[in-house]
Amino acid sequence: MKAADFAYRRPADLAGALAILSAEEGDIAPLAGGQSLMPMMNFRIAQPTMLLDLADVAELRGVTAGPDGLRIGAMTRYVQLAADPLVTQGAPLIGLALPHIAHAAIRNRGTIGGSVALADPAAEMPALLLAMAARIELVSLSGRRVVAADDFFLGLYETARAPDELVAAIHIPADASRRRVGFYELARRHGDYAMAGVALTAGGATGQPLASPRIAFFGLSDRAVRATGAEAALKDAQPAGDTLGAAVDSLSALPINGDLHAPPDVKLKLAGVVLRRALAGM
Ligand SMILES: Cc1cc2nc3c(=O)[nH]c(=O)nc-3n(C[C@H](O)[C@H](O)[C@H](O)COP(=O)(O)OP(=O)(O)OC[C@H]3O[C@@H](n4cnc5c(N)ncnc54)[C@H](O)[C@@H]3O)c2cc1C
């Protein structure tokens, strides 16, 4: 099948993009890497009236480091994240997870902003941002606002972004570079969307109890979800024995949905497996 008819605009800069987004009628879809949007259009799951191609918007690209941490422009591609020492050192959790996000050809085009804006429940990036306490910068003609990842992912492909806003950047806090990180996912084939996965960060030195752990799952629910029960069970504790058992037991309180891969009870079992394996690697 081919995409339904659509208009196409390719503004030269951010001001031009925001002007179109604000002034034009209809369903305007920003186009980033197109790795999700184009297949969705070809299957007619998405039928935007206009594609707003962000390829020339230089203001949305690039990574900068400051005292508060990293600012990663929305149009920064996965392949660029993997190659940038600012990212691999400032956000080691992203470096750990990137090889598991899709396949190399998709990482060559796919962007961090596209993944965040799409909010696929099985995508890694929303869970990584929850685990790092990252923030999402949104921009419109009315100005800029920054939303905590905890408040950004609202449901199935649903976010706090308003239709006249673009995702401008992702902010990673400075302490993300110092926290211990863990990641594990189970997928049918490497590069496929995960059946279940988890991303973790915690303070404290290796081998010491986990200080203020943040644990986020993907592939389980209608969105990436924090496992606050497991965080409470593991706080200031060694992830072993009864403590680990209590953390795994607490996962039954998560809002777990079945999907094409597995029913909810199997997903719950997989959640416990990925949590144990991610903690073992920290
Ligand atoms: C075979 C295959 C396997 C994949 N496997 C995985 C996987 O394992 N894990 C994973 O996470 N992803 C996976 N993906 C998806 C891939 O990572 C996508 O590239 C990514 O999710 C979206 O990024 P994009 O830049 O391509 O966005 P696009 O496809 O261009 O856009 C995605 C959505 O975000 C909107 N959007 C884009 N940028 C902005 C912006 N700056 N502001 C506001 N809205 C915006 C678009 O309008 C669209 O609705 C896979 C894709 C394919 C085709």
Residue 171 CA: distances (Å) to CA of 71, 104, 136 = 5, 25, 6
Contacts of 178 (CB under 8 A, 6+ apart): 203
State which amino acid sits at residue 62: G
Contact 100/187 with Cβ under 8 angstroms? yes
> Looking at ligand 1, which atom is closest to the CA of residue 166?
42
The residues with which 30 forms a beta bridge, in sequence order, are 52
Q: What is the band of 260 on the pLDDT scale with cuts at 50, 70, 90?
A: confident
Residue 99 is inside which H or E element, if any? none
pLDDT tens by residue, 174-199: 999 999 999 999 999 888 899 999 99
* pLDDT exceeds 90 at position 8: yes
pLDDT tens by residue, 36-86: 999 999 999 999 999 999 999 999 999 999 999 999 999 999 999 999 999
Domain ranges of the chain: 7-50, 60-175, 179-280
| 60-175 CATH pick, 3.20.20.70, 3.30.465.10, 2.40.50.140, 3.20.20.150 | 3.30.465.10
Contact 159/117 with Cβ under 8 angstroms? yes
Q: What is the DSSP letter of 16?
A: H
Q: Is 39 in the pocket of ligand 1 (CB under 6 A)?
A: yes
Q: Is 197 in the pocket of ligand 1 (CB under 6 A)?
A: no
pTM recorded for the entire structure: 0.97
* pLDDT exceeds 90 at position 281: no
Contact 141/18 with Cβ under 8 angstroms? yes
Q: Is 31 in the pocket of ligand 1 (CB under 6 A)?
A: yes
Q: Same CATH topology for 60-175 and 179-280?
A: no
CATH T-level topology, domain 179-280: Enolase-like; domain 1 (3.30.390)
Percent of the chain with pLDDT over 90: 94
Res 158: pLDDT: 98
Q: Looking at residues 145-171, what average pLDDT do you find?
A: 98
Counting ligand 1 atoms within 8 A of each CB, the residue from 6, 8, 22, 35 with the most, and so the one to mutate, is 35
